[in-house]
Every structure is written in C-alpha cells, then in structure tokens.
Amino acid sequence: MQYAYSLLETTTLSVDENGRRAGFSSGSYFIQLFCKSAGTTPLQYRQQFEQSSKH
C-alpha cells in the first residue's frame, strides 16, 4: 500500500493505473482497501497531498 501512496503523490496516473502498478488486479478493490488504510479515497488523498505541498 505504501507504494500506492507514493504513486499518488508523485505521478498523474489514473487511480486504476496506480492500483494496478501497486499490485491490485481490481480498481474497485484497490479503492476499498485504500479507503480503509487512509480514511479517504485515492483521488481525495492525491488532492489533499497536492494542496498541502503547495503551502
């Protein structure tokens, strides 16, 4: 999962592609597990990271 965080922070790949590169075969399963881990969706995580890195 840590690799998925890194991909979301450093690439503009789609959420599904991030999930595939992190080893998940299903985009919806990746999103489900990511939400449990981060408490937010992958897209929301990326947006929050982008906002915090601008300040």
User: Each residue of 1-54: pLDDT tens digit?
Assistant: 999 999 999 999 999 999 999 999 999 999 999 999 999 999 999 999 999 987
**How many degrees, rounded to 5, is the angle at CA 3 between CA 34 and CA 22?**
75
Q: Are 14 and 26 in contact (CB under 8 A)?
A: no
Query: Model pTM?
Result: 0.87
DSSP 3-state of 23: coil
Comparing CA positions, the residue from 34, 42, 32, 28 lying closest to residue 1 is 34
Comparing CA positions, the residue from 48, 45, 54 lying closest to residue 1 is 45
